[in-house]
Structure 1
Amino acid sequence: MLSRPRRNRKSQVIRDMVQENHLRASDLIFPLFIIDGQNRKTEVSSMPGIYRYSIDLLLKEVESCMNLGLKAFDLFPNIEESKKDKVATESLNKDGIYLRAIREVKKNFPEACVITDVAMDPYSSDGHDGLVENGEILNDETLEILAKMSLAHAEAGADIIAPSDMMDGRVGYIREALDGQGFKNTSIMSYTAKYASAFYGPFRDALESAPKFGDKKTYQMNPANQREALIEAALDVEEGADFLMVKPALAYLDVIKVLKDNFDLPIAAYNVSGEYAMIKSAVQKGWLEEGRTITEILMGMKRAGADVILTYHAKEVLEKGWI
């Protein structure tokens, strides 16, 4: 045989030389959960090793990550039920935990990249990503709320705004609002293809933000559809998005690839809470080898075309030297 592919696999040095994809700290974004109070750190029961932090401890966690070379963070607030209402008023509270957290992270770590979640559900008494009226999620009326929220995040110092609501037209509406107030350099990472997935359960536990009625299938995408993601992506590009995100990642590698093949913007993949919980559960049972399993999954997302990966594994893969 003239062709023997195994020759390029015969030693670690050669395998490293011909490796096609790589994982680096700069490829990773670490989602972090915020709670009110001082010196508080509570573990998310369905996500072993993941915690909600009060702002003082959040800053210590960010510092620990920065020392590992992990410099991009996506912040999510756990809002007390008493502060929720139908129009997400708390999202605009400059003294609330979320806007304070953004300001404090940027003040203490100006070189960090702060990504913010733009959606009503953490603040909504209905638990939905849009304004609810007579059981219906109102699209256009929601956009004004999302734009105000985005401006509040930009004013607090957010580097990237990430609308996760899946309302039609929200990227363009937010882009226009940001540009109109002088925030032309604030980026938008759109949740372009966010599916109505069963893998979000632990995340909703972390934020205590599950819908109070119904589900999110009228705005999140049908898991059976791939071509629909191309429609969403084309609209987001036209409306001024800077990143296109696919969520979840592991069950949607084909969607990551189809967006990578058809659009020139960076592709983000969200390795969601349910995917994290599955791995941790299997590791605790002794069924999977943790480091190899996690890095194989993350590499699969890179191989599919993800430029950046939002993952709850971000800190541990660096801390434990798995990448």
Structure 2
Amino acid sequence: MRWLAGLAAVLALGAAPLPPQPQAVAPGVWLMPGGIVPQRQPDGNTVVFAGPRGLVVLDTGRHLWHRQAILDFAAARRSPIVAVVNSHWHLDHVSGNPDIKRAYPGLKVYASNAIDEALKGFLPRSAADGRKYLNDPSFPVATLEDLRADLATIENGQALRPDVVIDRSSVRTLAGLRLQVNLAPNAATDGDVWLYDPKSRVAAVGDLVTLPAAFLDTGCPQGWKTALDRIWATPFRIVIPGHGAPMTRDQFGVYRTAFGALVDCSISKREASACAADWAAAVKPLLGDDARALRQASGMTQYYVTDVLRAHGGKSLDCKAA
């Protein structure tokens, strides 16, 4: 929410989204797409892996309709949700956790412990900033609705803590499915978790990959580059981003190169608008002919370079890395 005002001018107005529909990505792997839609705060992508003993869900979105779509999918398959893995603590990826746990009381939530610092720093600051807009008549009703929901989620922030802390990369068996559970320190947050399924060769990487822009609100650019290198070294066939459509290996390579160039540009003396234009041109093959996404790619990136990275010595305010 701290960046709500900064991005408000970038996002055009429009209607609320329809509930996400599951998309088969590979045998036993589905994407429940999130999105950035007008007047609304974003939902991150949800990825569902089917194991012999139930479902593993990566990220649970922000809005009620998104978490209900996850529950409906599990009910339609008559398969319990056994584990939720949070790629990181941003509210568009974890807000559905309490409702999913209420529906499946036996499930375990797996995540890094980066939320501990967020509950003391970023999230209370966001809540304080967000309350300033509650009576602002210039904000659409839908935006204020999301703001109030986020404030309620932050007030119940202890419910977002993981049951099992991921403190290192390792192979784990969740719902009977062997997954590589990877920890990326000092990346999009202080601790990002991404999954690799050797059976399907799908990597679900959360906000280590986002479109139309790299969401740098809490990012450590150098650690983020390292995380992308480690994903590249994995023999994946498909990458599922935290925001955006699944990518082939070549497409991920385009993103990885563009991110490296953006980080280099952000620490140079070039104008932020030039860095943003370069980013938009580099990721255009990943966005296709979506003119709105291209505008967002440029506008959001210029904001991140100016107000996030350059304002705090080349990293976000909340990046703890040196």
Larger radius of gyration: 1
**Normalised TM-score (structure 1):** 0.32
**Normalised TM-score (structure 2):** 0.32
Question: Highest relative contact order (Cα 8 Å, sep 6+), 1 or 2?
Answer: 1
